[in-house]
Amino acid sequence: MNRPLIRSQVVIDSQTVAGAAQAPSSWEGLEELYRSSRDDVYAYVFTLLRERAAAEDVTAQAFERAYRRRRTFDRRRGEERAWLFGIARNAALDELRRRRRHASLLTEPEDVDRATADEGLEVALRRTTVREALSRLPAREREVVALKFHAGLSNGELARVLGIGESAAGTMLYRAMEKLRKACHD
Amino acid sequence: MTEPSEITSALAVIDATLAGEAVEPEYAELAELSLILAATGEAPSPEFAAELDRRVERRFAPVPAGGTGQDQRDSRGRRSRWAWLFAPGAAAVGVAAIIALVVVFSGGSARNQPLVNDISSGAASRAPSAAQSSTSAASSPGSPSSTASTPSRSITPAARAGRLGLFSGGAGDASAPNTAPSPATSGRQIVQSAQLSLSTPPARIDDVAQQVFDVVAAQNGVVENSNVTSTAPYGNAQFSLSVPSANLSRTLNSLSQLHGAHVVSRSDATQDITGQVGGAGRRLAEDRALRTSLLRQLAAATTTTAVNSLKAQIRDVDASINRDLSALRTLQRKVAYSQISVTINSVALPVHPVTHGGGFTLSRALHDAGRVLVVAAGVGLIVLAALVPLGLVVALGLWLAAALRRRRREQVLDLL
């Protein structure tokens, strides 16, 4: 199921509301963060893992870890969404490592290119092109794109999640977008 | 090479597009790509979303049936990881605490040991010297050896003080004998002598030496010779005293209680010379009897030869009588006057360890409480000294482990 194009706008609004509310160190704050971020976390994890079942496991795991570590949240070290996506990223990378260790299914990306009936053909075609280009990007760049467009993180939050400088994160995002743009033209 | 301004502009366009703002026509393609990317995010299935909502509602409480295998694996993995990280640290802390306790307690007793050793070794080092001085006095050419009936005695107050774990003070020295040992004479001819070794701070050596002169004068004695050397920061003095034997005991008591002086050792020696005095008296009486007899023969002599021979014999007897008288007077003088050798050394006085008698007082309780606090602070300091490096090592280990874990996580992205 694909979401409408205005999803990110909705995310940013809900993020602003969440930021003004309670911190995730309280259960209520964490619940609020869960409500505003559940779909984004799933989308980000799915982009990394490219497998629905694994993405569901890791998403649930990420929120459970966040619940257990909610008292370690420190606003001075970043916003709650950056904190949550940092946890989700670690969980996703652990899952990728586990897969490699067990030499098991590095499954082929699932066919998620299911155009809805009310979408125009042209829109569906563009989306398919972009998805294919995205899937051919290196994992690091694919992750940057997912954090930016699926998780809706600001460049500063993105940098904190990746553990790099903000300018380096911006440069990485710019290069990934350039590659995507060229791939779509090809 | 991409210009930084180009990157900044592109990032601003992306942010503006995601915020729903209009962008310049030249960035239309980037804006469209951004919107498509934002829309390509996969949404969770309604079943999964509902199940996750339920888990969040019950705050991730474990499912009675055992929960998902993933949850259990995650929990176990987390526990084992922490156990792996903290087990060596906890073991190191435990070992450090044990070592610290052993060091403190063995170190404490070891520190106490030298104190006892110092005192006892000081006493031991002084006791032989006192014994030596007694022996040398007994074996010196000028001093006849002691007889079995009147053995020489050696008294070392410092040695006694050492056994008691304290040093005697100067004035009011409780451990110094108040009376010098004096043999029962009962008509016997006894020669007495004593050696006294004192210590005093360098600044007081002149004062103490003057007190020795005063004591000798007060007891009608004579300072036969003296040598006082006072050179900062050291000094010493030696006295050879001769005092009436009747005043020997009082003289020694006074010398043992000089202000600012400290008795290091003291030895008293006696020698019975009754036989020697008796022998000298008998020889004198015999010579005198012989002289009387010769005088009678001289009075009865009739020839010049006999007279001259008798006169020569009388001269020889007179000389012998003079020698006998001299020897007898020397012996009598030895009996009448006792020799005292006094040595004063200026050394830093030892710190008197605080000793308590029995009984409980507030000041002693405060002192003991202070000691307990000092020892506790020492133990804390030692434990801290042991734990701080260990803590740093553990912190470094944790940091390295976290860095390694992060690096391994990151590596998987490069392998995809």
* Integer CA distances (angstroms), A1 to A10, A158, A170, B177, in order: 17, 26, 30, 111
Q: A2 contacts in B (CB within 8 Å)? A: 39-40, 42-43
- Residue keyed to tokens 């075609």: A125
C-beta atoms of A134 and B37 within 8 A: yes
Beta bridge partners of A154: none
- B234 at the A interface (CB within 8 A)? no
- B50 at the A interface (CB within 8 A)? no
pLDDT recorded at residue B164: 33
Q: A29 contacts in B (CB within 8 Å)? A: none
Using a 10 angstrom Cβ sphere, with 0-12 exposed, 13-18 middle and 19 or more buried, the burial of residue B39 is: buried
Beta bridge partners of B197: B265, B343
Q: Give residue B294's identity as a one-letter amino acid code.
A: L
**How does DSSP assign A108-172, residue by residue?**
PPP------TTS-HHHHHHHHHHHHHHHHS-HHHHHHHIIIIIS---HHHHHHHHTS-HHHHHHH
Q: Does residue B372 carry a pLDDT above 90?
A: yes
> Contact at 8 Å (CB) between B34 and A178?
no
Q: What is the dihedral of CA B211, B217, B219, B223, to 10 degrees?
A: 90
Distance between B117 CA and the closest CA of chain A, angstroms: 58
Least confident of A8-22, B207-221, B271-285, B344-358: A8-22
Interface predicted TM-score (ipTM): 0.76
Greatest mean pLDDT among A15-19, B174-178, B255-259 lies in: B255-259
Using a 10 angstrom Cβ sphere, with 0-12 exposed, 13-18 middle and 19 or more buried, the burial of residue A12 is: middle
pLDDT recorded at residue B162: 35
What is the spatial distance between Cα B282 and Cα B165, in angstroms, rounded to a whole number? Answer: 54
In which residue ranges of chain A is pLDDT below 50? 1-21, 104-109, 112
- B22 at the A interface (CB within 8 A)? no
B204: helix, coil or strand? helix
- Taking the CB of residue B208, how many other CB atoms lie within 10 A of it? 25
pLDDT recorded at residue B340: 94
Q: A1 contacts in B (CB within 8 Å)? A: 43, 45
- Residue keyed to tokens 């940098």: A159
pLDDT tens track for A78-98: 788 888 999 999 999 988 888
Q: Is the pTM value of this prediction over 0.90?
A: no
Alpha helix (H) residue ranges in B68-222: 69-139, 157-164, 205-218
Q: Does residue B146 carry a pLDDT above 80?
A: no
Q: Does residue B393 carry a pLDDT above 90?
A: yes
* Integer CA distances (angstroms), A48 to A45, B286, B300, B382, in order: 5, 137, 157, 52
What is the spatial distance between Cα B18 and Cα B233, in angstroms, rounded to a whole number? Answer: 91
pLDDT recorded at residue B182: 56
What is the spatial distance between Cα B265 and Cα B276, in angstroms, rounded to a whole number? Answer: 31
> Contact at 8 Å (CB) between A131 and B40?
yes
pLDDT recorded at residue A161: 87
> Contact at 8 Å (CB) between B90 and B83?
no
Distance between A156 CA and the closest CA of chain B, angstroms: 12
Among B286, B346, B348, B297, residue whose Cα is nearest residue B321: B286
Of A3, A138, A177, the CB nearest to B33: A177
- Residue keyed to tokens 């043992």: B256
What is the spatial distance between Cα B242 and Cα B142, in angstroms, rounded to a whole number? Answer: 15
> Contact at 8 Å (CB) between A133 and A145?
no
pLDDT tens track for B269-299: 988 888 888 898 999 999 999 999 999 999 9
What is the helix (H) or strand (E) element at residue B7, kind and residue range? Answer: helix B4-18
What is the spatial distance between Cα B179 and Cα B195, in angstroms, rounded to a whole number? Answer: 15
Of B11, B36, B60, the CB nearest to A155: B11
Q: Please tell me which residue of chain A has the smallest CA distance to B8.
A: A170
- A112 at the B interface (CB within 8 A)? yes
Of A39, A61, A163, the CB nearest to B74: A61
Q: B415 contacts in A (CB within 8 Å)? A: 100
- A53 at the B interface (CB within 8 A)? no
Q: A46 contacts in B (CB within 8 Å)? A: 41-42
HEC string of B47-68?
Answer: HHHHHHHHHHHCCCCCCCCCCC
C-beta atoms of A177 and B42 within 8 A: no
pLDDT recorded at residue A124: 80
Model confidence at B316, pLDDT cuts 50, 70, 90, reads very high
C-beta atoms of B7 and A146 within 8 A: no
